[in-house]
Chain A
Amino acid sequence: MLARPQPRWLLIALAVLALACCDFAVVNVIHQPRTASSFDTQLTHVAAKRRFTTNGGPVVLHRTTYDASGGLVTITWYDSDVEPTGARTEAVVSLYVDGIRVASAIKGSLTGTYDDGAGVLAWYGRLKRGRHQILVRLDDATGAWGLPYTDPERPGVDELVIRAEGNAS
């Protein structure tokens, strides 16, 4: 019996097809743009009264190391009730990124305790890929401030949220 011919072109054609398919897979799996998202948060529930002054220097509220994937970032500090205790006072809370003060929030008070309210500080920026030091500090305050004010058995919250997501539109 004669052996059937083994066409070389079929081998070559299949090899080329296999390479093309592998390339197609690599391009779609590796090189497709994706939305990069990351989320980091530091939450402090405060059950007991917590009051700060800056008589002894600035007071650190949050300190964390954030591992950025590179790109747009929103950093938010939130306190459920920033409470002044004296009349005609003010407090400055600042956000530091890698030691640089990038944003501050200012709250004033005419009468004292009854001028309390939620505190928020936001910064929209871009962080390079890698680790970054994030710090939120009560930098300057006249008198004592509740951060946050709390009622007995009703804990307040003081939080730092770092959110990175999206592609610029």
Chain B
Amino acid sequence: MSKTRYAVILVVLAAVSGGGLGVGLAAMRRHRTSGRVYDSRVSHAFTATRRIGLAPQAVDSISVTGHGGTAEIEWYCGAWSSLSARGSSAVSLLLDGRPLADAVLGGPGGKWNARPAVLRWMGRLAPGRHVVSVRLERAVGVTALPLVVDHVPVVEGLDVTEHAG
């Protein structure tokens, strides 16, 4: 092998090594510093009304792992209703048993006051395991969570999205 050819091969191999190392390190760095999103959810499709007669009563819950980021927690119910005339109810969103947000339904019309419901909270989620739950806190009369008519699927669920990093 000529001296020149030997030198060229050495330079090319060194350049490939350096380039590969650089690209790999840059990708690692980008991965470490770019934001990550964690999503946990629980969702139930009801085809018959779920009646809750007594409060307080657990409605739903989910276990999540926090990463120290900002979380958006959303509870959704496709049809929240009282089944009693002049009935009312209050639902709470809780993080590890601590109330975060509250929603109230009331009205003179019983099931005629049925409506979809959203309860949303945003805040920091400390690293580690957490339990997000929804509870019917107070109720006058029987509450439907959800109300279902004609067996259409009505969804009740919890969605926890955390933006970390």
Residues in chain A within 8 A of chain B (CB atoms) = 3-4, 6, 10-11, 14-15, 17-18, 20-25, 27-29, 32, 34-35, 37, 72, 74, 88, 90, 92, 94, 101-111, 115, 117, 119-125, 139-140, 165-169
List, sorted by A's number, 23 A–B pairs whose CB atoms are closer than 8 Å: A6-B3, A11-B9, A22-B20, A25-B19, A27-B24, A35-B34, A103-B45, A104-B78, A104-B155, A105-B78, A105-B79, A105-B154, A106-B115, A106-B148, A110-B112, A124-B41, A165-B37, A166-B37, A166-B38, A166-B39, A166-B161, A168-B39, A169-B67
Name, among B6, B24, B64, B65, the residue most crowded by chain A CB atoms within 10 Å (CB to CB): B24
A6-B152 in contact given A124-B159, A169-B39 (Cβ < 8 Å): no
Are the C-beta atoms of A90 and B114 separated by less than 8 Å? Answer: yes
CA distance A57 to B127 in the complex (A): 51
Residues in chain B within 8 A of chain A (CB atoms) = 1, 3, 6, 9-10, 13-14, 16-21, 23-25, 27-28, 31, 34-43, 45, 64-65, 67, 74, 76, 78-79, 81, 107-109, 111-116, 118, 146-150, 152-155, 157, 159-162
CA distance A110 to B34 in the complex (A): 51
Q: Which residue of B lies closest to A77 (CB)?
A: B116
Are the C-beta atoms of A107 and B27 separated by less than 8 Å? Answer: no
Name, among B3, B74, B79, B160, the residue most crowded by chain A CB atoms within 10 Å (CB to CB): B79
Residue from A29, A106, A119 within 8 A of B23 (CB atoms): A29
- Chain B residues closer than 8 Å to A167, beta-carbon distance: 36-39
CA distance A11 to B17 in the complex (A): 12
How distant is B137 from chain A, measured CB to nearest CB, in Å? 21
CA distance A41 to B107 in the complex (A): 34
Are the C-beta atoms of A14 and B24 separated by less than 8 Å? Answer: no
Q: Which residue of A lies closest to B164 (CB)?
A: A169
- Chain A residues closer than 8 Å to B78, beta-carbon distance: 103-106, 121-122
A106-B43 in contact given A21-B16, A120-B118, A166-B37 (Cβ < 8 Å): no
- Chain B residues closer than 8 Å to A168, beta-carbon distance: 38-40
20 more A-B residue pairs beyond the given contacts A21-B18, A28-B24, with a C-beta to C-beta distance below 8 A: A20-B20, A21-B21, A25-B27, A34-B31, A74-B41, A90-B112, A92-B150, A104-B79, A105-B78, A120-B76, A122-B74, A122-B118, A122-B157, A123-B43, A124-B157, A168-B39, A168-B40, A169-B38, A169-B40, A169-B64
